Amino acid sequence: MVKVIIYPTNSLILSDLVERFGHTPLAMMEKIKEKISTVGVDSPPLNITPEEPKMGLKYAAVEVPAGVRGRMAIVGPMIDEAEAGIIVNESPMAFGCMGCARTNELTKFLIRDRDIPVLEVDYPEDEDEAREFVYKIAEFLGSLSKDEKEGQE
Amino acid sequence: MPQNDDDIITKLVVISSDSVLPIDAAMKVYESETSIVIKETCFGTMVTGPREAVNRVVEELVDLDRNHIFVKERGFPPGDERRCRASRGGGPRPGFHYLREEVRTLPMIGRALDDYDKKVPLKEVAHKKKLDVKKLAEIIESA
C-alpha cells in the first residue's frame, strides 16, 4: 500500500480511485479532521492558528502571503509524506473552491519536484476522456503495487 | 460511542447509481446494527462513527453497486457549526460547489470503471489543443 498524494487535494473522484485500487490517498479532508479535532482550535470559522504561517515557511518564503503559507502548513507535510502522486490538470474546481491559485501552483510544483512517481492527467470532459482518465490512473496505481512487491522481494 | 475523538471519522458516500437510491444506502446502514450516525443527503449519505465500524459499513454500501458509489473522508462531522447551513444563516455549505461539480462527472467515471472491469480496449482520444499564438495573431489580422 503506497501513500499517494492527490491534486486537487480534496477530490472525491481521486480519493475514491486511489482507495479502490488498493492504496492510501493523502487528502486534505483527513488533515482538516486532525486539525479540527485538536483541542484549542475550535473558534468558528477559523481552523488555522497563528502557528500555521510559521510552519509554512518551510515551503514558501516570508514575502509570500500568509494565506499561502497557512495552506502550505497543511499541504506541505502531505507532500513530504507522499510516496507517489496524481495531478489532475485543467480541473475547473481547482479555480475558486480550492481557495488559492498560488497555493495550487506551489503544491503542483513541490509534488513534481519530489523524486517520486507522478501521474499527470487532464480533467475529463467527455466519455472517451473519462475512460482514458480512469484507465491511466488504474494502470499507474497498479504499477505502484508491482514496484512495491518487487521492492519487498 | 467511544471517548477517543481520534477514532471517530466521517465518510461521504456519494451515490451515482441507477439501481441504488440514498434511502437504500440508509436502510443498509440501519440493518448493520452498528453504533454509527448517518445523515441522508441529496447526493447520498454521511456516515460518522468509530473508524472500524464506518469502514465496514461503507464497504457494505459500496458493494451495493461497486462502480457507481464513491466514497471520501470528510473533515467535519455532520451538523458541525463551522459547516452546517443551519447555524450559518443558509446558503450552500463550504465545499458544496466542489462536490456538485464532481458529482456531475461521476456517471462518466462509473461507466469508465465498468469498461475497465470488462477490459474494453482504450480508444485513441483526440485532445483539444490550446489556440496557438500565431494562429490567434492571424485571426486578429484577418479581421
d(CA B56, CA B6): 17
* Pure H helices in A37-126: 51-55, 66-81, 101-113
Q: In the structure grid, which three cell numbers stand for residue A39, read together?
A: 483541542
Domains, chain B, ranges and CATH?
Answer: 5-117 (3.30.70)
Considering only the beta carbons, identify the residue of B72, B99, B116 that sits closest to A16.
Answer: B72
Q: What percent of chain B is modeled with pLDDT above 70?
A: 96
pTM for the full model? 0.88
Distance from CA of B143 to the nearest CA of A (A): 30
Model confidence pLDDT, tens digit, residues B40-54? 888 889 999 999 999
pLDDT score for A47 = 62
Three-state DSSP at B7 gives helix
Which residues in chain A are contacts of B70 at CB distance < 8 A? Answer: 12-13, 16
pLDDT score for A51 = 79
Angle, CA of A146, A147 and A151, to the nearest 5°: 120
What is the β-pairing status of strands B37-40 and B44-50? antiparallel
Considering only the beta carbons, identify the residue of B98, B109, B116 that sits closest to A97.
Answer: B98
Domains, chain A, ranges and CATH?
Answer: 3-152 (3.40.50)
Q: What percent of chain A is modeled with pLDDT above 90?
A: 55
For residues B25 and B13, the answer to whether their CB atoms sit within 8 Å is: yes
For residues B61 and B29, the answer to whether their CB atoms sit within 8 Å is: yes
Q: Compare all CA atoms of chain B with the CA of A26 and give the residue at the minimum distance.
A: B73
pLDDT score for B1 = 40
For residues B100 and B42, the answer to whether their CB atoms sit within 8 Å is: no
Q: Is the dihedral of CA A14, A18, A20, A24 positive or negative?
A: negative
d(CA A21, CA A145): 9
Q: Is B12 on the interface with A (CB under 8 A)?
A: yes
Within 10 Å of residue A36's Cβ, how many Cβ atoms? Answer: 18
Three-state DSSP at B113 gives helix
- Contact: B73, A126; criterion CB under 8 Å: no
What is the β-pairing status of strands A3-7 and A84-89? parallel
pLDDT-derived band of residue A76, with 50, 70 and 90 as boundaries? very high
Distance from CA of B141 to the nearest CA of A (A): 29
d(CA B106, CA B102): 6
Considering only the beta carbons, identify the residue of A12, A20, A47 that sits closest to B99.
Answer: A12
| Omega before A45 within 30 of 0, i.e. cis | yes
pLDDT above 50 for B3: no
Angle, CA of B83, B59 and A86, to the nearest 5°: 70
**ipTM > 0.90 (yes/no):** no
* Residue among A7, A1, A2 nearest A110 (CA): A7
For A8, A62, A129, the CA distances from A56, given in Å and listed in that order, are 19, 9, 36
| Chain B residues 79-98 with CB within 8 Å of chain A | 80-82, 95, 97-98
Residues of A near B (Cβ–Cβ under 8 Å) read: 10-13, 15-16, 19-20, 27-33, 35-37, 44-45, 47, 92-93, 96-98, 122, 124-135, 138
pLDDT-derived band of residue B142, with 50, 70 and 90 as boundaries? very high
What is the β-pairing status of strands A118-122 and A84-89? parallel
Q: Is B106 on the interface with A (CB under 8 A)?
A: yes
Q: What percent of chain B is modeled with pLDDT above 90?
A: 43
- Contact: A134, B80; criterion CB under 8 Å: no
pLDDT above 80 for B15: yes
The amino acid present at B105, given as its one-letter code, is T
- Contact: A135, B95; criterion CB under 8 Å: no
